[in-house]
Amino acid sequence: MQFFFEVLIGGLLSGVLYALVALGFVLIFKASGVFNFAQGAMVFFAALTFVGFLEVLPGWTGLEEGGRAVFWLAFVLSLGAMVLLAIATERVVLRPLVNQPPITLFMATIGLTFLVEGIAQGIWGANVRGLDLGIQDEPIEYMMENFNILISSFDVFAATVAAILVAALALFFQYTRIGRALRAVADDHQAALSIGIPLRHIWVIVWAVAGFVALVAGMIWGARNGVQFALTFTALKALPVLILGGFTSVPGAIVGGLIIGASEKLAEVYVGPFVGGGIESWFPYILALGFLLIRPEGLFGERHIDRV
Amino acid sequence: MAREIGDVVLKMEGISLSFGGVKALTNISFDVREHEIRSIIGPNGAGKSSMLNVINGVYHPQEGQVTFRGEVRRDMEPHKAAKQGIARTFQNIALFKGMSVLDNIMTGRNLKMTCNLFQHALHWGAARKEEIEHRRKVEEVIDFLEIQSIRKTPVGRLPYGLQKRVELGRALAAEPSLLLLDEPMAGMNVEEKQDMCRFILDVNDQFGTTIVLIEHDMGVVMDISDRVVVLDYGKKIGDGEPDEVKNNPDVISAYLGTSH
Amino acid sequence: MSDPRGQDELNTFPRLLMQHAQQRPNRPAMREKEYGIWQTYSWAEVAQNVRAIACGLAELGFKRGDRLGIIGDNRPRLYWSVAACQCLGGIPVMMYQDAVAEEMAYVLQDAEIKFVVVEDQEQVDKMLEIREQAPLLEHVIYDDPRGMRHYAETFLLGLDELQAMGTAHDKAQPDFLDGEIRKGQPDDVSVMLYTSGTTGKPKGVCQTHDAFIQSAKGGCQFDKLTESEDILSYLPMAWVGDHLFSYAQAMVSGFTINCPESGETVMTDLREIGPTYYFAPPRVFENLLTTVLIRMEDASWIKRKIFGHFMEVAKRCGAEILDGLPVSTADRFQYWLGNLLVYGPLKNVLGFSRIRVAYTAGAAIGPDLFRFYRSIGINLKQLYGQTETCAYVCLQPDGQIKLDSVGKPAPGVEVKLAENGEILVKGPMLLKAYYKRPDATAESLNEDGYFLTGDAGFFDDDGHLKIIDRAKDVGKLNSGSIFAPNYIENKLKFFQHVKEAVAFGNERDFVTAFINIDLEAVGNYVERRGLAYSGYTDLAAQPMVMQLIKECVEEINAQLAADPMMADSQIKRFLILHKELDADDGELTRTRKVRRKFVSERYAVLIDALYSGKTEQHIETEVKYEDGRQGKIAADLKIEEAKTFAPQAAKTAA
Amino acid sequence: MLYREAGQFKASYEADQQIFPILQDRVGVLLLIGFFALAVPLFADQYWLKAILIPVLIFSLAAIGLNILTGYAGQLSLGSAAFMAVGAFGAYNFMLRIDGMPFLVAILLGGLCAAAVGVLFGLPSLRIKGFYLAVATLAAQFFIVWALVKIEWFSNYSSSGVITAQEIEILGFAFDGPVSKYLLTLFVVVVMALLAKNMVRSTTGRMWMAVRDMDVAAEVIGIRLMRTKLTAFAVSSFYCGVAGALYAYTYIGTVEPEGFNLDLSFKILFMIIIGGVGSIMGSFLGAAFIVLLPIALDVTVPVLLGDLVSASFVSNLQLIVFGGLIVFFLIVEPHGLARLWQIGKEKLRLWPFPH
């Protein structure tokens, strides 16, 4: 039983990270109706940029390597890079494709994925890099002693960060002018335009916010598994989460992430051995698919009626 | 000399339809007779299009029943309605934008084509013969609607009025016995309206097709309809021959109330 | 000539048809674009259908010598009705399908028509409208049953039903029709064509089988037409040219006629068919050239450069190459290249790439226009003829094309000039008579059997006939030299800026003219030069426009000075009219010909001003607007002097 | 300019409904096929045949398959490579397990296996659309590759699922050299392209396009959405499957399931986007483009930039160029090279006029 909980909690914690990536998708889909396949590439780009700055900044500025100053400067610069990416994306991809069918925009983001990956590696190189955020990746003694459950403090940290981020975003959407504008755009582009919200700004902002989410997700994933090309696959993990949670629902992304994370780990551990293992790659998809057949609009998605 | 109006072919009884609590239609009953032109009129949002959607199975009413040619239909699927000889056009043109006029109208004959995928792939013998045979029929429709000069034009490039005509063509290609027309003349100029009117009358007259028509232009409706149903806010407020309906106080007030 | 001939000789149209049905049963006789493809009818099928229609008509009571009215677009079944009527010894009378009901009523009465075959509901409605005025009308047969379901009138009958009746009849009595065909004689009247006639009521011109067959044979030999020609039949069936080209010549040579799908699709259909033999009035060629030039204006500069360059090449040597004249090798190469890049594709896009022979007639064609088509390798030629002569008098022989002549007398045709310059013609193609108008017949044929064409002309040194004007319009200047207003006006009208012109000079000292400018062309011209104007009257009064027209007039003067016969006809003074000449005001006929007399009376004050040396004249004119209202246009018109040339000096200048 | 259409009138519907109604096109296509079937084997060297022509042909076939599903029936799929894998492993097993299995039958059976699997994964398309469906096809991608690796029977118990294609022999003739393999591939691809063209220009194709353009209207005129979509899945997967079998037998020889990964699926998707969505001809153009582009980059970039660049730079450049081209085509010419070709042809037909 303890083992079960260990697996479950481990799964839930990695689910938090899936949720974080999925959150980026949802933000963009809500605001611009674009299914952004490049979210994974953005995670990779952000993490790579961050570690890249960590490496080069001491040389450029004379700051102490591994110090706090370098960390925050690199963070701010990376954030800046994500904003630039958002602006460039809006300018080069979204604006010319405005009013195209969503499927076209989706395919464009696949192209964008390749572009972003190529650019990231072109600038920073393709080596695997480690990232140390200063958080120990070791079991929490308290849990060990009292419940005999092995839980990494890093995972808890990651979950906390994710929770804070989600809460912050929720507040942002609920209580700021920009946040309300974003929601207005999601509901009805025409309406948003007619009350004087410049659509282009909204897009840039939302892509930048998604970039910020990608940066945080990239840092956490990177710190855990190293910053490498495999980060782009996080996007593939996030897709079943979206199906489960619905494309437009922030809570859906979180709950979906947790379900996917937990169930994939449980399945791997309890079902995997019987079929040769490695089912993590497809299990979430089959799960999501099965779910989809029952509820095509996802957990929290809105039912859509075809008007004729 | 006029066409014979026959028995009741379509009977709507106590139809109620709602979307997530919003009532679109409330307890509506009326019937349609063979060979007649039956119009449904009413102000915007009166539930006219919903009514058509109930007839050919796009929407399923929560209450009431639809009887078509003696068969009670519950949860009818649109493609089954098509099989029974019901064709329709849409308020917002629903053509297949990526295809030519000819191909659009050809799709209207899909139910009459029996060849399978493999025959199509080989395009030999029966499939080829079938294609040609149906092309001939489609050309008759094209000729009937006088759209010869645009037969190979992609429909997306056509002006609105012509698109409406092509959509009628696609419906006619199915040789329906009941034709549902949802505002076939909306957004047309006077000349186009006259043409469309002529086509509708010709269809009704030459092929004996029963027609259920939604139209805003009162002049047209009163001119060509045999009987008219009036809806307002999802309720039936009038039903009868054009003159009768015109003098119905409820109808007058509904129209005065909305249009002035 | 009127002796009864051998029964098997191919001297009537029905016999020709039956002969083709035997000799080339499977070759296409007719095609019609219908239901998206070119529905093809072989000679055997045509003969079969004609038999059915003929027998059906006989069943209805159609007798030898009866007239059959035929109204509609160029449809195979209407052509078949013509042949069917002829099989029975009847006389087909085609009518212009766009004519209004009253005009048809006149023809129906005049020709005492009992049977008509019409194309569709539209024509049926006209027949119903004028039924009272045509009491003889017994049967109206319609080709297209669309919309006819509720017509209960008993005298209406579908052509389908008629054919069904006829087929049954033909089966029951197969010898009947053959017998009827055998009864036909070459000097029977084969067709009646109504002349529009600028004065008086239209007259029915009776032409015999022999006349049309001889004319068709002559033309076919002249241009070596074979059974493999394709012709597009799009001009009205009631017009003599269509009857000659699409009916008589096809019947003689056995070639294929092609009927377009509808009026709107003629250009597309032309391109699809790519006829080898083509006829069009100058107006069509002119419009086509205009479209070509307009479409080229949107092309990229490089394409325009290529186009421009090779058009120059064509101008230089194209017509010569077509005529087989010697041309330098360099030019030949350039022309070959041009053919690859410009002329070939251009002809293809227009549908002209297969043309062997093309004709134009009916009006004078501008020399530039004519030369353009010849220079890109289209063998366009002119011919001359009237309804009364089966449109067969003069033809331009291949290789001997002169821009301003109508060619040499056609085989079997004698042409001579009367003293006043009027052209007189004689030959097998002459009319038998005007229907029920012995007076008119007598008037038009002189005692030697020559037909008075009413046109004036002269032969040049090579024996080519040049038409200058209607004979009755030709007058004399006070100097005694000939004055041919039409000749001068046509020359003026070849300028794109001039829409209409009226020349005066009969019994005067010199020639003057009224000019109507072309609103669109001149409008464009001034707009490009940054000038704004408000309507025709304003535009016509602009000094810039006056200057433009003056240059045109002076160019004409230079040309006229070069011709010894015409040198005295140079335009000394002219003015630009303040309004467009309009058929609604009675200034033009419905076919847009100037009513010379009416105009000169209406604007007498202007003519006086032209001859009195004034430089300006005030005028007020009543006009009828399109909506029927009356109005007045007033203007002060400037009168301009144009430079004239001495006959000798002009030769060097021109 | 080269077209001389005047006089090419159609007197029957047969003539009007030909694949190439214009004479010059017919001649051109025959010349093209003749060139590739007769002249190329004589002159092309091994490298060209093995590294360029054969893969272009095979990917064209796969692209046709994806185009049927995505371009014609409007159902986006990201799992084409997996269906190729099914075809390859299917054909392998038929060859392996049935004695005297004719090669052509084996690849067709491989294709049928792919079709069956395709229908299975197409089932969700009945309830879900657009992105959801695209994600569902990813499930196929991952699941199939996993299954082929893990279920060792498929690869006859070889390690990590690697299979080696058997020798090809048809009617006693061994297709062992590049030329014979090339000709075999060409034959299969041309025939199947023709069949595909026939399908898309017949009722089947019209129903696919109707569902793509407006499914509600399609249903109202009697088209059964389920059947139509599943047919598209089946045919599409069949084409991908046959392409996969050819990939194993005439191109690579030794394949492993991981070779049919998501990247390959994307590559095929790129082929149809760049080549032209909804065009058989575009599938060929796109395949040629995507196969040739990296080769061209490999050859030209070092020449242009010399030793300054590393191999990894070239591979990143490839990513950037691919990505950039996709975005570029979607913006500038969403119908891809096929449309450019068509525009060019239209220009030639109207020459010297611009429109």
Nearest of D324, D246, D322, D331 to residue D286 by alpha carbon: D322
d(CA C56, CA B108): 39
The two three-digit tokens of residue D29, written as one number? 């296509």
In this prediction, residue B260 carries a pLDDT of 38
Architecture field, domain C278-470: 3-Layer(aba) Sandwich (3.40)
Split at pLDDT 50, 70, 90, the class of C651 is: very low
Report yes or no on B215 lying in a domain: yes
**Cβ distance of B143 and C152 shorter than 8 Å:** no
For residue B211, the domain's CATH number is 3.40.50.300
Q: Does residue C485 have a cis bond before it (omega within 30 degrees)?
A: no
CA dist C593 → C364, C405, C439, C583, C602 (Å): 13, 21, 26, 9, 16
Region C579-588: what's the mean pLDDT?
84
For D214, the closest chain A residue by CA position comes to A308
D27 inside domain: no
130-169 of D, contacting C, C-beta below 8 A: none
Which of A53, A303, A34, A6 lies closest to A189, judged by CA?
Answer: A34
Closest by CA to C412, choosing from C430, C433, C386, is C430
Count of CB pairs separated by less than 8 Å, A with B: 6
Return the number of other C-beta atoms located less than 10 Å from residue C236's C-beta: 18
Instruction: Tell me the average pLDDT of chain A.
Output: 81
Chain D environment of C274 (Cβ under 8 Å):
5-9
- Establish if B122 belongs to a structural domain: yes
pLDDT band with cut points at 50, 70 and 90 for residue A289? confident
B138 lies in the same domain as B169: yes
Model confidence pLDDT, tens digit, residues C507-554:
999 999 999 998 888 888 888 888 888 888 889 888 999 999 999 999
Residue B113 lies in a domain: yes
User: In this predicted structure, what is the pLDDT of residue C4?
Assistant: 44
| D308/B contact by beta carbon, under 8 A | no
Q: Which residue has the higher pLDDT, D355 or B9?
A: B9
* Confidence at residue D152, expressed as pLDDT on a 0 to 100 scale: 87
What mean pLDDT is predicted for residues B228-247? Answer: 89
Does D73 fall in a domain? yes
pLDDT in tens, A11-51: 887 888 888 888 888 888 877 778 888 988 999 999 999 99
User: Look-up: residue for tokens 């093309």?
Assistant: C358
For position A194, what pLDDT does the model report? 60
* Mean pLDDT across C393-421: 90
CATH class of C13-270: alpha beta
Any C CB within 8 A of D353 CB: yes
User: Average of pLDDT values for B216-242?
Assistant: 89
Distance (Å) from the alpha carbon of B246 to chain D's nearest alpha carbon: 33
For residue B151, how many C-alpha atoms fall within 13 Å in the half-sphere facing its CB? 23
Nearest neighbour of B140 by CB, restricted to C35, C149, C264:
C35
Q: Tokens representing C350?
A: 């227009």
The whole-angstrom separation of Cα B148 and Cα C269 is: 12
Tens-place pLDDT, residues B110-160: 999 988 999 999 988 899 999 999 999 999 999 999 998 899 999 999 999
Question: Is B236 contained in some domain?
Answer: yes
Q: Which residue has the higher pLDDT, C550 or C362?
A: C550
Give me C529's structure tokens: 């030069």
Listed ranges C138-142, C320-324, C485-489; the one with the highest mean pLDDT = C138-142
Which residues in chain B are closer than 8 Å to D349, comparing Cβ atoms?
none
Rg (CA), chain B: 19
For the segment B29-55, the average pLDDT, to the nearest whole number, is 90
> Which of C28, C296, C354 lies closest to D352 in CB terms?
C296
Please enumerate in sequence order all residues whose Cβ is within 8 A of that of A263, keeping only pairs 6 or more positions apart, or say none.
A11, A283, A284, A287
To test the contact with chain D by mutation, choose from B110, B124, B151, B182 the residue with the greatest count of D C-beta atoms within 10 A, namely: B110
Distance (Å) from the C-alpha of residue B129 to the closest C-alpha of chain D?
Answer: 9
3-state class (DSSP) for residue A195? coil
pLDDT values of chain D reduced to their tens digit, one per residue, 355 residues: 778 888 899 999 989 988 999 999 999 999 999 999 999 999 888 889 999 999 999 999 999 999 999 999 999 899 999 999 999 999 999 999 998 899 999 999 999 999 999 999 888 887 777 777 888 888 899 999 999 998 889 988 887 789 998 998 888 889 988 999 999 999 999 999 999 999 999 999 999 999 999 988 999 999 999 999 999 999 999 999 999 999 999 999 999 999 999 999 999 999 999 999 999 999 999 999 999 998 888 888 877 777 666 777 788 888 899 899 989 999 998 889 999 999 999 999 888 888 7
Assess if residue D83 is contained within a domain: yes
Q: How much of chain C exceeds pLDDT 90, in percent?
A: 59
Our measurement of the distance from residue C167's CA atom to the centroid of its chain's CA atoms, rounded to an integer in Å, reads 37
Is residue D66 within 8 Å of D77, Cβ to Cβ?
yes
Per the prediction, chain C carries an average pLDDT of: 89
CB of C21 closer than 8 Å to CB of C181 = no
Structure tokens at B164: 């409406």
Expressed as residue numbers, the domain containing A31 is: 23-229
Chains A and D form CB pairs within 8 A to the count of 129
**By the 8 A CB rule, do A216 and A164 touch?**
no
pLDDT at C2: 39
pLDDT mean over C278-284: 91
Residue D103 belongs to what domain range? 35-259
Question: Would B104 be classed as within a structural domain?
Answer: yes
> Position of tokens 């604006």?
A95
* Stated pTM of the model: 0.87
Q: What is the average pLDDT across C587-610?
A: 86
Q: Which helix (H) or strand (E) holds C92?
A: strand C91-95
Burial of C629 per CB tally in 10 Å (0-12, 13-18, 19+): exposed
Domain annotation covers residue D323: no
Residues B45-83: pLDDT tens digits? 788 889 999 998 888 898 998 999 888 877 778 888 999
Check pLDDT > 90 for residue C256: yes
Query: Selecting from 3.30.70.1710, 3.30.300.30, 3.40.1710.10, 3.20.20.60, what CATH number does the domain C474-653 have?
Result: 3.30.300.30
Q: How many domains in chain A?
A: 1
Instruction: State CA C397 to chain mean position distance.
Output: 20
d(CA C198, CA D193): 66
Any domain includes D337: no
- Residue C62: what pLDDT? 95
Q: Which of B50, B47, B70, B33 is nearest to B241 (CA)?
A: B33
d(C-alpha A9, C-alpha C171), whole Å: 97
Q: List the C67-71 sheet strands across, edge first.
A: C156-158, C139-142, C115-118, C67-71, C91-95, C189-195, C203-208, C433-434
In this predicted structure, the answer to whether residue C3 has a pLDDT above a threshold of 50 is no
Total count of residues recorded for chain D = 355
Q: Is the pLDDT of residue A308 over 70?
A: no
* Whether residue C191 has pLDDT greater than 90: yes
- The token pair that represents B176 in the structure block: 């329906």
Residue A186 neighbours by CB under 8 Å, 6+ apart? A30, A31, A33, A248
What pLDDT does residue A188 have?
Answer: 63
Half-sphere exposure of D35 (CA within 13 A, CB side): 7
> Measured between CA atoms, how close is C11 to chain B, in angstroms?
40
Same domain for B196 and B70?
Answer: yes
Q: Which two tokens stand for residue C578?
A: 């303040």
Residue C466: other Cβ atoms inside 10 A: 17
> Which residues of chain C lie closer than 8 angstroms to D8, CB-CB?
272, 274
> Residues 8..27 of D with a Cβ closer than 8 Å to C: which?
8-13, 15-16
**Does B130 share its domain with B184?**
no
Q: What is the pLDDT of residue C527?
A: 85
- Which residue has tokens 């054969």? D54
Nearest CA in chain C to D4: C348
Choose, out of D117, D129, D146, the residue to mutate when testing the contact with A (most A CBs < 10 Å): D146
Cα distances (angstroms) measured from residue D76 to each of D121, D122, D137: 12, 11, 8
Decide if C259 contacts C236 (C-beta within 8 A). Answer: no
Spatial distance between the Cα atoms of C308 and C318, rounded to a whole number of angstroms = 14
Q: Do C265 and B139 touch (CB under 8 A)?
A: no
Indicate whether B207 and B156 sit together in one domain: no
CA proximity to C396, closest of C463, C315, C317, C308: C463
Number of domains comprising chain D: 1
Is residue A2, in this structure, part of any structural domain at all? no
Q: Look at residue C520 in the predicted model and tell me its pLDDT.
A: 84
> pLDDT at residue C337 above 70?
yes
B175, B190, B212: which is the final residue of a domain?
A: B175
For chain A, the C-alpha Rg in angstroms (whole number) is 20
Contact indicator for C571, C562 with CB cutoff of 8 Å: no
Q: What is the pLDDT of residue C626?
A: 67
Residue D16 lies in a domain: no
3-state secondary structure of C277: strand
Q: State residue D345's pLDDT score.
A: 92
Q: Are residues B146 and B224 in the same domain?
A: no
User: In angstroms, rounded to a whole number, what is the distance separating the alpha carbons of residues D131 and A239?
Assistant: 10
Residue intervals of chain C classified under CATH 3.40.50.12780 are 13-270, 278-470
Give the residue-averaged pLDDT of C56-80: 95
Comparing B22-36, C576-590, D34-48, the range with the smallest average pLDDT is: C576-590
Q: Which domain holds residue B26?
A: 1-85+178-260
Task: Yes or no: say if C213 and C13 are a contact pair by the CB < 8 Å rule.
Answer: yes
C31, burial (CB in 10 Å: exposed 0-12, middle 13-18, buried 19+): buried
Stretch B34-49: mean pLDDT: 89
Chain A interface mutation, best of D142, D151, D258, D271, highest count of A Cβ atoms under 10 Å? D142
For residue D3, being part of any structural domain is answered with no
Looking at chain B, the number of H-run helices and the number of E-run strands are: 10, 10
Dist CA C231 CA C250 (whole Å): 9
What are the structure tokens assigned to B16, written together?
């109620």
Residue type, A221: W
**Model confidence at B36: pLDDT above 90:** yes
> What confidence tier does C654 reach under pLDDT thresholds 50, 70, 90?
very low
Give all chains having 3 or more CB-to-CB distances under 8 Å with chain A. B, D
Which range has the top average pLDDT, A164-178, C608-622, D52-66?
D52-66
Q: Give yes or no for D203 touching B (CB within 8 A).
A: yes
- B260 and B157 in a common domain: no
Residue D58 makes CB contacts below 8 A (sequence gap 6+) with: D185, D189, D243, D246, D247, D250, D251
Q: What sign does the dihedral D91-D94-D100-D105 (CA atoms) show?
A: negative
